[in-house]
Homo-oligomer: A and B are copies of this chain.
Amino acid sequence: MDETLDKLRLARTEGVGPVTYRRLLARFHTPEAAIEALPDIARAGGRDTPPKVPSDREAARELEKLHHIGGRMVFVGDADYPPLLALLPDPPPCLSILGDLAALQGRGVGVVGARNASSNGQRMAEALASDLAAKGLVVVSGLARGIDAAAHRGALHVGLTVAAVAGGLDQPYPPEHAGLQAEIAARGAVITEAPFGTAPQSRHFPRRNRLIAGLSLGLVVIEAALRSGSLITARLAQEANREIFAVPGSPLDQRCRGTNDLIRQGAHVTESAEDVLANLPDDPRRTGLARTPLFARTTAEGLSDETALWNEPPDPDIDIAAAQSNILGLLSPSPTDLDDLVRRSFLPASAVAAALMQLELALRVEVLPGNRVCRV
């Protein structure tokens, strides 16, 4: 239990994202040791005050509230951690879950699309989700208005459905979907990365979208305008090597421009559940879904497979302060690829890794899932 509290405290620390969480555990072996090391690392990154780590008591309060509404918390490396999500390059460290954990172990298929969907689009989503659920697939979506809600409803009374949400589990969004969320929790599962009590804001949605992509073997997009959130989810799914499906529509309807464009880029033309079933991998572990990030490898079994990089002793010949300013000079607010950064810095990868961790805990950079980093 203490270890759970420490994991939660570490995961909820300012500046600790999925990448740094994993690296800290790889380097310090226990969350307790990592938490103890945080002030020094942040100071080395140029931060005067130590990072705000929640207290034991605060962490216990969050767990208690979650348990009170029947929820559970699962950490990367736990046996219950959703196996498809664990295949992401940098899986979310800490998940809050309401409902049946078994729903997260199944063959997920994402069904997402426009909030202002047409009635035909919603009919399509409901029928497709129902047919997929009847075939034993778990329909994953985002609880939003329009396509998402139609997909959940189509699957609900037929099989399993999972809602990935942006805010805390006690804050259903949109509010009129509180009842739908309760139904999903009763028959499937609701999952979030956000701490209990978090009111969902637009900055939380990218993580919600990544959960949808990560929990799914394939993602079906039904009605999506160009530059819409559903296309971002599709990009995340594609980066995670998941299959992309799109339902075609009239070019005269702006809501179909994004889906038609996905098809132009190679998404499977999808008119019915058969189109999905025919193109979905049977077993994700046989399909090469997992990718190897630059600095480390994470497996469904947890953190055992880290490369030695983060455990290497810092090279005494490297001036880490100089490395930091070198790296900061190469970064901008838009994400840079880690490979590029290492190449352009002319530093050993281990020095870049050490400097980035210090800078991240000093809240001066953000290391994003998928080997990207940006200046804060």
A residues neighboring B (CB under 8 Å): 120, 123-124, 247-252, 256-257, 260-261, 263-264, 268-272, 275
Contacts and interface: CB of A to CB of B under 8 A. Distances in A.
A227 to B, nearest CB: 16
A271 B248 contact: no
A270 B124 CA distance: 22
A130 B269 CA distance: 28
Contact of A269 (B247, B260, B270, B272): B260
Contact of A256 (B248, B263, B264): B248
Contacts of A275: 264
A251 B271 contact: yes
A273 to B, nearest CB: 11
Nearest to A269: B264
B248 A263 contact: yes
B249 A271 contact: no
Given A249-B250, A251-B247, A260 B256 contact: no
A250 B250 contact: yes
A251 B248 contact: yes
Nearest to A251: B271
A322 to B, nearest CB: 49
A276 to B, nearest CB: 12
A251 B251 CA distance: 13
Contact of A251 (B124, B257, B260): B124
8 contacts: A120-B250, A120-B252, A123-B252, A248-B250, A248-B251, A249-B249, A251-B272, A263-B263
Given A120-B252, A248-B260, 8 more contacts: A120-B250, A248-B249, A248-B251, A248-B269, A249-B249, A249-B250, A261-B269, A263-B263
B257 A271 contact: yes
Contacts of A123: 252
A88 to B, nearest CB: 29
Q: Which of A123, A124, A250, A268 has the most CB of B within 10 A?
A: A250
Contacts of A249: 248-250
Contacts of A124: 250-252
A251 B128 CA distance: 11
Nearest to A265: B269
Contact of A260 (B252, B257, B271): B271
Nearest to A263: B269
A288 to B, nearest CB: 24
A247 B260 CA distance: 9
Contacts of A248: 248-251, 256, 260, 263, 269
Contacts of A251: 124, 247-248, 270-272
A120 B118 CA distance: 16
A298 to B, nearest CB: 36
A247 B250 CA distance: 8
Residue of A124, A264, A272 with most partner-chain B CB within 10 A: A264
Contacts of A270: 251
Nearest to A128: B251
A119 to B, nearest CB: 10
A109 to B, nearest CB: 17
Most buried by B among A123, A252, A261, A268: A252
